Structures are given as structure tokens and as C-alpha cells.
Amino acid sequence: MFKTDCELYNKGLCRLLAVKDSDIRILTLKQGDLAVDRGIHIGGAFSSIIPMVSLFYSGIMNLDPDNPTLPGQDIFVLSKGHAVSSMASIYADLGYFDSSLLSNSRSVESILNGHPGPLLRGVQIATGPLGQGLAVAQGFAMAGKSEPLFKVFCITGDGELQEGVVWEAFMHAPQKKLDNLCVLIDKNEGQLDNHAQLIFPMSNLPKQVEAFGWRVFEVDGTSYEALLEALEKFSSNPGNGKPTAIVCNTKKGFGAFSAEMNKHKITLGHDLFEQELVLQENQRRERCLDFVNYLQYLKNQGREEVAEKLSQAAVSMNLELKLADKTLVQRMKKPQSGKVPEINKEIRYDHSLLPRYAKDAQVAANEVIKKCMTLFARDPRVVTVDADLGTTSGLEGGIAAVDQRRAINVGIAESNMMCVGEAYAALGYNAWVSTFCPFFDWKVLRRIAVGAQERRESMASPEGWLSSGHGLDLTFLATASNFDTGVNGATHMGNDDIVVYAGIAGLNIIDVSCPNQLVGILEWIMKGNRGLNYLRIMRAASGVIYDPDFKFEYGKAYRVHGEDSAKVYLISSGRGVHEVLGAAKLLKEKGVSVTVFDMPSYDEGKMLDLAATGSLIFVVEQNNGFIWNQFGRSLLRLKPKVEKVDLNRIFSRNANTPEGEYQYIHSATYKQLIARFGLTPEKITEMVLEKIR
């Protein structure tokens, strides 16, 4: 096709996109009218329609709505989650799901929420908490640099750019040479309740992003010609090693007729809806007429080939050309029913090569992990991401010994680290992220957990699109837990993390006490389909408690000393187990026989069984009382079943104040800390003897 033909085609394509623009605006408007509360985030939804229509209907993206998990296709991330109504309109039109889903949104019966998530077919992650979607898109792009290659597109808003995680991703993406990543910034100059002004004006935004090493195009975000030109530059010449940002200058509510539609969120009154709908439909008719007349012009000029290509483009956009009526009829693609294919998440490795440790050994957890990861990494589906100290976890050294491309370190950027890990997990990897245990971002962790829950719900529902194996396998490796970071200060001390993170739904919390136990836990995770795991390891070397053939089961306590029945039970986890075992030895010398349980993950059944025996129970922990808190919840929740439990025979000792208040722990050596809080074997022994008397 000659250049002049290309120009003629592009002019016609923009006219076609304008028709699709009308279709999507009308569908989006109707969503607001049919929503359970008639509410809609209309301002940001409308301003993002031109960038989204340009992406999904211009042929830039390689997508398969019939099989949205097929490897190798491009990925789209809507970071500005409040534009979900526009995205849902496009997905319904493309055939990801039936258009009936657009009705009654945000109701208890609907899976179309106020933000997108994996309940919706074709949506990989949950977004809404600002800025994180861009960071996850960067993680997808990192995966897309390996076979099979694919591109990643993300739409974010200028309001989102006030979030710190955005700039963590902006810094990191150029270092990874992610020239397969294209971020479109909906610069609509408004945020939340102020639709006409940003809290932080961004007049210099293109240069700011460019300074981080990005290729930046600044365009008129109200023009399909400008968007297509920028997207074509990205698509035709992505190999310069730089990620691409397209700054789309527009305004809140662009494309709406009424000024009421410029606001962040409105309750769509019926009169306003009818008024706006009539005007949008009139505009669509005019746009259809303009396109049909343009086709006739091309034919009159002897450009039948260009006209035919545009007619084919209309069909690809689900538009049926009616020349006699001078219109284009929207024919939304019929969605495929059923679930995507299952995938096997079990990691392949030679079990006989796993490290095993003798009872007299002293081994650091990071050395265990390094050796195990060297073995696990032979399966290309294992990937690790460190932040801050990569050597502390053992992940980076183990994976890099096999494939350094999958041993990622994002620098001191924990929020970005978590988002990168989530991206790999969403693509089916067994992903690991690691930092000091207090440093995981609660806001990011919660959003990841929301997406993980939506995946589980979709897999469990007969109507859901996801099948077995499509959950997130993502482990948060928390180094230096309990009193392990003794000399680093209160900000680094891992005594409160699991009490806080216990509020994250669906997060498996595991506290490691022994090298052989850690190997067993790693094997359990590598079985696949284990979901989100928060795994706490010690920084210092520890003794060996378990036999080399230890098998881990989540939610199970392990008796590591004494008989099944006893008058005194000591319960702990992590490094505290070693001190409790020391106390058991001292108590035995004094003629007191006790049973010790290690509870790496909370075992409600065992705790309630022990409480019902009438024996003395001591829950001893080097943190703010995770097991103790969980036990208290169990007693309250199952009160009718445990009415005969004598609470006067159940005691705790942990890092809380004597009054049971949470606190932070300041610098000291490990020996000083356990002495200060009465967690030495001698102090534990004194506590037990006092209660026996």
C-alpha cells in the first residue's frame, strides 16, 4: 500500500474508531443507569475511552478473548480501576463475557464490581488501590521478554502518579530494558472531588518520565489520529530498550455532553441519563454517516482497495456495514462459555537431591533455601524477586546459579517487588518475593489477596472462567523474624508482622523452626496450588529438630518432645521452639515432665483439644502473640463447644507488655532480648514451676 493509501486508510480508521467510541460510551452510560446504586465513576471512565478504544480496536494488540490464558498474547492492565465501566463495555463487545453482565453492577448478584478483578473473564489482577497496576504491568513485561514474547499495555491516570509505587516502577522498568511495555497516562487534570485540578500539577510530566529513561510521546488524548500515531511508533519500533509512555492530554469526562458528567463519580439520575443517551446516539448516527460517505468518496477516487480494507476493519470491530441505511450496526461478539484449560502447577525436581541435615548440625535458613532453589530452579516456572538484601533470603543465589534471568532484585523497593512477584504468579509461575518481615507493604499485600480470592471464587464457581491451577502461587519470604534482628532497632524487628498480616484473608502464615522443617515446607509449596504463603525464616543458624524425612502439612502442630498426654504443654513456633525445648530439658531435671508442640502454622483443632484436657498450657512466642491471638479467637468463635475450658490453666508469654499491650522491640542482642522478656529456658522453667505450685 502506497503512503497516500496509508494516509487514506488511517483517516477512515479514525472514523471507524469514532463509531466504536460512541458504542462504548453508550454501553458505559447504560451501566450507570442499570447499576444497583445508579452510581458510576463517569469522569475518569469517559476520559480513558479514547486511549482504550485505540488499543483494543486498532489492531495494535494481539488478544484472544476465546482463550484469554493462552500464552504469548498481549496483556492489558487497567491500573486506574475506576474506569472499570469503560473496560467492561469493551470486554463485553469483544466477547470476553456476555453483555448481560453490564446490568445491575456492584450488586450482590453481580461479579462486575466498582474495580476490575479476576472474577471478570480476561482480567488478570485486581486493581483500584492507585498505582499498583502499573507496577504489576511492569512485572508482566519482564515475563514477556522471555519466550513466548508478548507486549504489555497499561492505562493509568495522572492522579495515580502521586503514589510512590508508580515511581518505583518508573525507575525499575528502564533498567530491565522493557521496550515491550507501553503505559498510557490519562492526564485528565482532575482527581477525586476536584475534577478540574490536580493536587500536584504535572505540567512537566513528559520530561519527568523521560528523565527516568523512558521513551515518551505527548499527544492530544482527545484525538484518535494522535493516539494511533504514538501507538504505531511503539508497535513498529519497540526495540530501542526503553519502555514507552504516552501522555494523553485530556480532561475529566471528555466525550460527554453534560458538564455533570465531568465529575469523579455521580449518581446518574434518569433525566440526565435520557438526555445524555439521546445526544450520544445522535452523535453515533452522524459518525456512521461520516464513515459511509468516506467509503463512497474512496470508491469515487478509485481507491476500492482502501475502501475494502476499511470494510474488513469494521467487521473486525464487530460492526456490520449497512450501506443502504448509511449506518453501522453493532454486533457484539458472542462469548465463549466454559472454563479455560487446567494447568499443572507442581514443580518438577529430583527429590533425592534435596539437602538433609543431621541432628547435630547448625544451619542458616538462607543456606537451606539457596541449596533448594538451585534444585527447584531447573523447572523454568520458578522465579524469585528480592528487595534490599538479596543475600539474606538465599533466593537470588539459588536461582541465579541456574538461570539469573529469574533471579530478580528490584533494589530497595518492596512495593514494586510484591507487584512484580504477583505478575509472575498470575502467569502461572511459582513466585517468591523476599524482604525483612516488617517491610512488606500491607496495602499491596491486601490488593494481591483480593485478586487471589477472586481467582479462587472463579475456579470454584461452575460459571467462573478459571479452572484448576489458575490460582496465585506466591510466597512472601520474611527474613529475620521474631527476635532475629536484635541489633537493628525497632523498625526492623519482626515481632508484630504476623499479628498484623493475620488480618489478610487467605494468607497462609508459616513460622520456621528447623532446617529440615524448612526443606519440608519448601517441598509442600513446590507441589503447587498453595496460594499465598507468608513464610518466616530465621537469620541466624539454628539447630535441627526434625528428621530428614519431615513432611509438612499446613494447619498442623508437631509434637517435638514428650508424650501425647501430659499435665503441662509448652507451645511455640520459630526460634522460640529451641528455647522451649531447652526449658523442657530443665524441667525434666526437676522432675517435671512436659510435652512440647511446635506450631509452624496455627492448628485450631490441636489447641482446642489441649485446652479441653485440663492440663496447664503455656503459649510461648518471640513475637506479639500470634498463636495466642488465634487461640483467643477460636475460644470466642467456638464458645459453646469449649465452655468447660478452664482459662485459669492457660498462660502466655510473648513480646507484649505485662498488661498484654502490643509494643515494638528496641535494639539488643538476642540473648539480651529473650532475657528481657522472660523467654530464656530458665525463665520459661520458672514460669512453669510457679504455676505448678
pLDDT digits (tens, 9 = 90+) for 317-357: 999 999 999 999 999 999 988 999 999 999 999 999 999 99
Q: Which three cell numbers stand for residue 10?
A: 488511517
Q: Pairing state of beta strands 266-267 and 319-322?
A: unpaired
CATH of 558-692, one of 3.40.190.10, 1.10.3720.10, 3.40.50.920, 3.40.50.2300: 3.40.50.920
Q: What is the mean pLDDT of residues 635-661?
A: 88
Find all residues with CB under 8 Å of 571, minimum gap 6, and list them.
Answer: 557, 580, 596, 597, 599, 607, 610, 617, 618, 619, 620, 627
User: Tell me, what's the pLDDT at 1?
Assistant: 46
- What local confidence, expressed as pLDDT, does residue 199 receive? 66
CATH number of 37-273: 3.40.50.970
CB 92 within 8 A of CB 56: no
Residue 384 near residue 357 (C-beta atoms within 8 A): no
pLDDT digits (tens, 9 = 90+) for 231-245: 999 998 876 899 999
- Grid coordinates representing 453 are 480470592
Q: Which of 18, 29, 27, 96 is nearest to 57 (CA)?
A: 18
> Residue 642: which pLDDT band, with cuts at 50, 70 and 90?
confident
pLDDT in tens, 130-183: 889 999 999 999 999 998 999 999 999 988 998 999 999 999 999 999 999 999
Distance, in Å, from the CA atom of 396 to the CA atom of 402, rounded to the nearest integer, reads 10
Q: Where are the domains of the chain?
A: 37-273, 351-543, 558-692
Q: For 63-117, how does the pLDDT look when each residue is reduced to its tens digit (9 = 90+)?
A: 999 999 999 999 999 999 999 999 999 999 999 999 999 999 999 999 999 999 9
Segment 34-63, tens digit of pLDDT: 999 998 889 899 999 999 999 999 999 999
pLDDT tens for each residue of 458-498:
999 999 999 999 999 999 999 989 997 777 888 888 999 99
126 near 454, Cβ under 8 Å? yes
Q: At what angle do helices 84-94 and 3-34 cross, to 10 degrees?
A: 110
Confidence of residue 639 (pLDDT cuts 50, 70, 90): confident
Half-sphere exposure in the Cβ direction for 395 (13 Å, CA): 30
Same fold flag, 351-543 and 558-692: yes
Architecture, CATH, for domain 351-543: 3-Layer(aba) Sandwich (3.40)
Rounded to whole angstroms, the Cα distance separating 571 from 591 reads: 20
